[in-house]
Structure 1
Amino acid sequence: MTPEDPLRLVVIVASTRKGRFGPTVARWFASQAAQRGDLTVDVIDLAEAQLPEALSDQRNAAVTAVADKLARADVFTVVTPEYNHSFPAPLKTAIDWHFKEWHAKAVGFVSYGGISGGLRAVEQLRPIFAEVHAVTVRDSVSFHGVWTQFEPGGQPKHPDRANGAATAMLSQLVWWGHALREAKARRPYEP
C-alpha cells in the first residue's frame, strides 16, 4: 500500500431503535465521504449487524462479519445519537466485542440529537476509543434539533454548514489515517 491508495472508511450507524433517524444522517455523511478520491466507504448498521448483547468467549458469525469489516478499515466514523446524555448501548457492545480491530486507527464522529446535538455522547466516546488504542480526531459533525435540520429527501437544510463540517472532519480523518498507515508499515503496532 502506498500513501496514495485510498483509505478504507467504515461508517458505523449506532442507533438501533425503531423509528431512528441515524440512517438518514449516515446516508448523507457516507455520500459526502464517497465524493472524495482519497476514501472508499463501507457502512455497518448496528441494527442489521445483530451482535449478541452478552459478551462471551465465543464469537458468532455476526461478530466475525463485523470484525472482518473493522479489521479491513483504515479509519472510522461513528454516527451516533445522544440518549440520556450518552450513546446507544449497541455501540458499546460493538466496541467491546472487538479490540484489536480498533488499534492504531483514527475515529471521527457525526452526532445528532436535541439541543446538545449529541456532543455529550461524543465526549463519552473519546476515552472509550482511547482505551481500545484508537485516535479520535478533534473536529466532529453535529446536528442540533436534528429532526428540523434535514429536508424530506435526506439532505441538510443548511448544506454549506453541514458539508463544511464534514469536509473539515474528513480531512483530519484522512491525515491521521495516512499517518497511522505509514507508521504501521514501518513498525507494527503492539500495545
Structure 2
Amino acid sequence: MVKGIAAPSDASLAGRAFRNNYLFVYSLQMRELSSTPCSSPAIATAGPYVYALYEHYGYSPAQIGQLFITGFGSSMVFGTFIGALADKAGRKKATLGYVVAYSLSCLTKHYPNFRVLMLGRVLGGVATSLLFSAFESWLVAEHFKRGFSEKSLGQTFSQAVFLGNGLMAILAGFLGDYLVEKMALGR
C-alpha cells in the first residue's frame, strides 16, 4: 500500500461490486429495450427500423401510427400504477415480469397480424413501465438494506443514465445501422 493512501474498505469494495452488477444488468436491459421504440432512448435508434418492418408487412402510415401510439399509450397507462404493483408483488418478481413482457413483445414482431402486433405494443408498454420502475425500486431498497451511503446511490443513478439511457441507445443505433445498411439484413 502506498503511504498516505488508505486501502479500500470491504464496504466500499462491496458497494462498487453491487453498483457494477446493477449497472451491467440495467445497461443490458436498456440495450435490449432499444429495439422496441416504447421508451425515450429507443425512439431515435430503433423506431425507423420498426416502422420499416411494419411497412414491409403492408401496413399504412395511419396503421403504423396506431401501433406506435398504442405502445406509448400503454406505457403511460401502466406506468401510473405499475410501480406500486411492483412494490406489492415484489421487486424481483416485477423485474422478471419485465423480462417476460419484453420477450413476448419481441416475439410478436415476427407475426404480420395487426392484432398480434398491437398486443406486442401493449406488452412493450408494460415492459417499459416495469423497467423504469421495478429496477430502480429494487436498487433503492437493496442499496439501503446493504447499508450503502445515499451519496453512492446518486452516483449509481447518474452512471445508469449515462450508460443505460445514453450510451446503450447510441450503440444500439450504430449496431442497427450496421446490420441493416452494411450487412443488408432485414431488407
Report the TM range for the smaller structure's normalisation.
0.3 to 0.5
- TM-score w.r.t. length of structure 2: 0.33
Q: Which has the higher strand share?
A: 1
Query: Which structure carries more relative contact order (alpha carbon 8 Å, separation 6+)?
Result: 2
- TM-score w.r.t. length of structure 1: 0.32
